[in-house]
């Protein structure tokens, strides 16, 4: 019960890494808002542990403000924020990626971090406590070819994490990030372009431990970074990658 009495918002929690994190937080005693643009997925996950399902577009300021207001009404406060929602563009040469795809990657992966901070950081500062976790990627550390603008968005997220951490440290608010390697989640096909045994083997060959990451892997790391056990840990961007970035 390492999060007993805590409250949390996890974005993109209707599936994949976010769902794994939400489930683990709830199992450790937290009251969790499962926030996702896919409300059906959010409701399914939240129903497993009595969480609060909420439909949100993390790239839209009004939608994020509405999420924060509902979290305040339903949870009382927000102790933990996990910025997990993310998208990618299909693999392609950088000059061939459409402007619409670039804008979507930027809005969901980067602007959302600003919007959730704008909506929730003031309350954390006022209480003198809080934990923010950004789910970045090994792509921001060791970029893969033909995922250029996704790589760049995750590099931005890593820098944003460190910038947020140094600014919020005097207020008792910690900010960290996770850098997962490719996971067996709904986004995997988008990273690979096609989900075939050959393409999976190609991706796995770059991971020394020889397997994709799982929601449970990310949930375990997220639990530590968002718990009081990590009370002196801030500005850390932790690889959960089976050795890919070595």
Predicted confidence at residue 1, as pLDDT, reads 94
Q: Give the distance, in angstroms, between the CA of residue 185 and the centroid of all CA atoms in the same chain.
A: 13
Domains of the chain and CATH, by start: 7-240 (3.40.50.720)
- C-alpha distances in Å from residue 94, one per residue of 84, 144, 151, 177, 242: 24, 12, 11, 26, 27
Phi-psi category of residue 112: left, alpha or beta, with phi > 0 → left and psi -120 to 50 → alpha: alpha
CA angle 228, 232, 238 (to 5 degrees): 90
Q: Are 18 and 44 in contact (CB under 8 A)?
A: no
Predicted confidence at residue 189, as pLDDT, reads 67
Which residues are tagged catalytic? 150
Predicted confidence at residue 74, as pLDDT, reads 96
Predicted confidence at residue 205, as pLDDT, reads 87
Predicted confidence at residue 197, as pLDDT, reads 81
94 half-sphere exposure, CB direction, 13 A CA radius: 8
Give the residue ranges of DSSP H helices in 90-241: 99-106, 112-127, 148-168, 188-192, 197-204, 215-226
Q: Mean pLDDT for each 10-residue chunk of the chain (246 residues)? A: 97 96 98 98 98 98 98 97 95 96 98 98 98 96 93 98 98 98 74 76 87 94 98 98 92
Predicted confidence at residue 230, as pLDDT, reads 98
Question: 228 by DSSP, 3-state: which?
Answer: helix
């Amino acid at each position: 019960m390492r999060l007993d009495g805590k409250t949390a918002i996890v974005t993109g929690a209707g599936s994949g890494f976010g769902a794994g994190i939400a489930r683990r937080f709830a199992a450790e005693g937290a009251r969790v808002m499962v926030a996702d643009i896919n409300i059906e997925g959010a409701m399914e996950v939240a129903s497993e542990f009595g969480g609060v399902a909420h439909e949100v577009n993390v790239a839209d300021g009004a939608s994020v403000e509405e999420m924060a207001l509902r979290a305040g009404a339903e949870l009382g406060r927000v102790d933990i924020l996990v910025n997990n929602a993310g998208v990618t563009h299909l693999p392609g040469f950088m000059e061939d990626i459409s402007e619409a795809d670039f804008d979507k990657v930027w809005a969901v992966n980067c602007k959302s971090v600003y919007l959730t901070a704008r909506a929730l950081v003031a309350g954390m500062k006022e209480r003198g406590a809080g934990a923010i976790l950004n789910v970045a990627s090994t792509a921001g550390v060791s970029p893969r070819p033909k995922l250029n603008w996704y790589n760049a968005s995750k590099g931005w997220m890593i820098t944003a994490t460190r910038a947020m951490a140094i600014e919020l440290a005097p207020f008792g608010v910690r900010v960290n990030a996770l850098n997962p390697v490719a996971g067996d989640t709904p986004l995997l096909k988008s990273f690979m372009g096609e989900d075939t045994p050959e393409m999976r083997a190609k991706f796995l060959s770059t991971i020394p431990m020889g397997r994709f990451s799982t929601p449970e892997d990310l949930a375990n790391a997220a639990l530590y970074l968002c718990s009081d056990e990590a009370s002196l840990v801030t500005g850390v961007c932790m690889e959960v990658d089976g050795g890919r970035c070595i």
